[in-house]
């Protein structure tokens, strides 16, 4: 298994480029199933989550090809209807094929995701929405089977602004009969990007990016040729790295309008963040000031940045309370950060972080995608050597993170562990 070895203490300077967003690419790949033709997604990052979804599309019978021009999905013929347990278990976002399959072919069978490392994460709202559109939902043997002759537009009010739920229903509604209105919809930039792409395919979606999305169903959609939005979580991770390690880092592709909540917190913590051509530049200067953070749905502070920000607060000046409101069990990085000398106590849905002067390098274990990134960040400022094992979590969502950080001057490399 691969691990990442970091020699702490290097200042970071230079420019780093973010890739298109994983969380945009996954729904877009699923959306390719809506169109009988050959779709292209440009500059798709080489991530294991992307490979997992590619495997699922192939399992369904679509053609998938990676090339210099991007990722091609040929959905002219898609005979399969099932997302099997092995793939959904590896990656929850596999449920994104549900909406497109039911909308275009009238049937889908998807394994229920079950619990995952960061919480229960059910898909009840995806299913209730499809039911409201006239689908029949049957749960059996750990699979959910959804059938509909043709979906009908409906008014759907989500209990919570679920991101993949909103995307699933938007894709389903794109080929439904009549108008669908999704209220309390997720407002994430990736939802907006999907809407933009659906519209370019001939769909009729309005309001994405706000909490009410209206979709007028059409009879057929054409293939896409789309460049997904830059990854705001990858960008945010580099901004935190810059703030943490001093020096000056330019994050090319970072979109200020997608990073408001994080940038506000970085500034409160004492980092300088300025817009530059095509991105953002961050300058860290000494220890950060401790600030409190509360995660929330977009445009709130992203739960996907909570762990990385905690690494910054771990060496902050003062006391920071980090409250997680999106997922109930997303503090698995805490014991690992404490093994590196951090002083963090979890109390219910909050982590109380007492900033320490220094962290010390240690062997630590990644437990999920963003927790792994937090451990890498902590390793960048810790004394001595840190080895982060189980890097396969990191490879799900970061493209060549160690190479990009090394390009900024970090002493970091991938090693093979026995
Ligand atoms: C997406 C992101 C993930 C991010 C998360 C929150 C993708 C591929 N993944 O995940 O990186 O951490 O948004 O920003 O885009 N819930 C229900 N019932 C449902 C659906 C969700 O109770 O039917 C709950 C979940 O348990 C969670 C909350 O709603 O507590 C938000 O989850 P959701 O927005 O659905 O997350 P994902 O779309 O899975």
pLDDT digits (tens, 9 = 90+) for 166-203: 999 999 999 999 999 999 999 999 999 999 999 999 99
98-105 and 124-132 helices cross at what angle (nearest 10)?
Answer: 20
168 C-alpha to ligand 1 centroid (Å)? 12
Check residue 285 and give its pLDDT: 84
pLDDT > 80? residue 121: no
- State residue 118's pLDDT score: 62
User: How many angstroms does the Cα of residue 77 sit away from the middle of ligand 1?
Assistant: 30
Query: 43, 89, 116, 329: which one is catalytic?
Result: 116
Calculate what percentage of the chain has a pLDDT beyond 90.
Answer: 93
Instruction: For the beta carbon of residue 125, count every other beta carbon within 10 angstroms.
Output: 21
Element of type H or E holding 376: helix 369-381
Tokens representing residue 341 in the block: 């000398």
The number of CA neighbours under 13 Å toward the Cβ of 348 is 3
Tokens of 307: 């762990």
Q: Which of 163, 169, 396 best tests ligand 1's pocket when mutated (most atoms within 8 Å of CB)?
A: 163
The closest-lying atom of ligand 1 relative to the alpha carbon of residue 128 is 23
Helices 232-245, 260-268: inter-axial angle, 10-degree rounding: 10
> What is the model's pLDDT at position 250?
98
Under the banding of pLDDT at 50, 70 and 90, the label for residue 117 is: low
What is the CB < 6 Å shell around ligand 1?
23, 26, 92-93, 119-126, 160, 162-165, 303-304, 326-327
Respond yes or no: is residue 116 known to be catalytic.
yes
Which of 97, 160, 231, 299 most suits a substitution to test ligand 1, by most atoms within 8 Å of the C-beta? 160
- Tens digits of residue pLDDT in 285-300: 889 999 999 999 999 9
Looking at residue 116, its pLDDT comes to 62
Looking at the chain, the number of H-run helices and the number of E-run strands are 14, 24
- Neighbouring CB atoms inside 10 A of 20's CB total 24
Determine the pLDDT at residue 229: 98
Q: Are 281 and 307 in contact, with CB atoms under 8 Å apart?
A: no
360 CA from centroid of ligand 1 (Å): 34
User: Whose CA is closest to 119, among 330, 385, 375?
Assistant: 330
Q: Please report the pLDDT score of residue 309 as a whole number.
A: 98
Contact yes or no for 326/305 (Cβ under 8 A): no
Atom of ligand 1 nearest to the CA of 304: 12
State the pLDDT at residue 220: 98
Looking at the DSSP bridge assignments, the partners of residue 273 are 282
Query: How would you list the strands of the sheet with 272-276, edge to edge?
Result: 12-17, 247-252, 279-284, 272-276
pLDDT score for 418: 73
Query: What does the pLDDT read at residue 115?
Result: 59
Q: Atom 39 in ligand 1: which residue has the minimum CA distance? A: 164
pLDDT for residue 119 is more than 80: no
pLDDT at residue 1, rounded to an integer: 87
pLDDT of residue 120: 65
Residue from 162, 261, 332 whose mutation best tests the ligand 1 pocket (most atoms within 8 A of CB): 162
User: Would you state the pLDDT for residue 63?
Assistant: 98
Q: What is the mean pLDDT of residues 53-61?
A: 98
Question: What's the rounded Cα separation, in Å, for the pair 28 and 132?
Answer: 24
- Examine the pLDDT at 59 and tell me if it is beyond 80: yes
So what's the pLDDT on residue 329?
Answer: 82
**211-248: buried (b, 16+ CB within 10 Å) or exposed (e) per residue?**
eebbbbbeeebebbbbebbbbbbbbbbbbbbbbbbbbb
Q: How confident is the model at residue 86 (pLDDT cuts 50, 70, 90)?
A: very high
Q: Tell me what pLDDT residue 277 has.
A: 93
61 dihedral zone (left: phi>0; alpha: psi -120 to 50; beta):
left
Across the range 242-254, mean pLDDT stands at: 96
Atom of ligand 1 nearest to the CA of 186: 34
Sequential DSSP letters for 243-284: HHH-EEEEEET--GGG-HHHHHHHHHTT-EEEEETTEEEEEE
Report the nearest atom of ligand 1 relative to the CA of 162: 34
For residue 366, the model assigns a pLDDT of 84
Please provide the average confidence, as pLDDT, over all residues in the chain: 96
Residues 371-410: pLDDT tens digits?
A: 999 999 999 999 999 999 999 999 999 999 999 999 999 9
Which residue has the CA at smallest separation from atom 5 of ligand 1? Answer: 163
The rounded Å distance from CA 81 to ligand 1 centre is: 23
SS3 for 86-105, per residue? Answer: HHHHHCHHHHHHHHHHHHHH
> Which residue has the least CA distance to atom 25 on ligand 1?
121
Query: 268 pLDDT exceeds 70?
Result: yes
Distance CA 104, CA 310 (A): 43
Indicate the angle between helix axes 232-245 and 369-381, nearest 10 degrees.
20
- Asked whether the beta carbons of 59 and 101 are under 8 A apart, the reply is no
């Amino acid at each position: 298994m691969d691990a990442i070895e970091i020699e702490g203490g290097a200042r970071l300077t230079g420019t780093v480029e973010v890739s298109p967003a994983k969380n945009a690419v996954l729904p877009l790949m699923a959306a390719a199933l809506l169109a009988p033709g050959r779709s292209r997604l440009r500059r798709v990052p080489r991530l294991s989550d992307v490979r997992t979804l590619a495997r699922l599309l192939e399992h369904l019978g679509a053609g998938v090809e990676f090339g210099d021009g991007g990722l091609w999905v040929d959905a002219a013929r898609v005979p399969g209807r099932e997302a099997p347990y092995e793939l959904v278990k590896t990656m929850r976002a596999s449920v994104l094929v549900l909406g497109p399959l039911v909308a275009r072919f009238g049937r889908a069978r998807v394994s229920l995701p079950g619990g995952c490392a960061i919480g229960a994460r059910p898909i009840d709202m995806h299913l209730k929405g499809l039911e409201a559109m006239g689908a029949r939902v049957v749960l059996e043997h750990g699979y959910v089977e959804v059938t509909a002759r043709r979906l009908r537009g409906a008014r759907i009010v989500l209990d919570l602004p679920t991101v993949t739920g909103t995307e699933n229903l938007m894709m389903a509604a794109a080929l439904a009969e009549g108008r669908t209105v999704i209220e309390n919809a997720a407002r994430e930039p990736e939802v907006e990007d999907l809407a933009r792409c659906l519209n370019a395919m001939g769909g009729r979606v309005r309001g994405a990016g706000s909490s009410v999305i209206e979709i007028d169903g059409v009879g057929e959609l054409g293939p896409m040729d789309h460049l997904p939005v830059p990854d705001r979580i990858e960008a945010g991770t580099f901004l935190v790295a810059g703030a943490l390690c001093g020096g000056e880092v330019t994050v090319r592709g970072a979109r200020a309008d997608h990073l408001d909540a994080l940038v506000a917190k970085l500034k409160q913590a004492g980092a300088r963040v300025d817009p530059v051509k095509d991105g953002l530049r961050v300058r860290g200067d000494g220890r950060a000031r401790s600030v409190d953070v509360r995660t929330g749905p977009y445009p709130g502070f992203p739960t996907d940045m909570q762990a990385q920000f905690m690494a910054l607060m771990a060496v902050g000046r003062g006391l920071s309370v980090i409250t997680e409101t999106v997922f109930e069990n997303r503090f698995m990085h805490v014991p690992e950060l404490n093994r590196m000398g951090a002083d963090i106590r979890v109390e219910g849905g909050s982590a109380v972080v007492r900033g320490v002067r220094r962290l010390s390098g240690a062997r630590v274990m990644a437990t999920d995608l963003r927790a792994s990134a937090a451990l890498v960040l902590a390793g960048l400022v810790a004394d001595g050597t840190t080895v982060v094992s189980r890097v396969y979590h990191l490879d799900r969502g970061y493209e060549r993170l160690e190479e990009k950080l090394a390009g900024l001057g970090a002493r970091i490399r991938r090693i093979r562990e026995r």
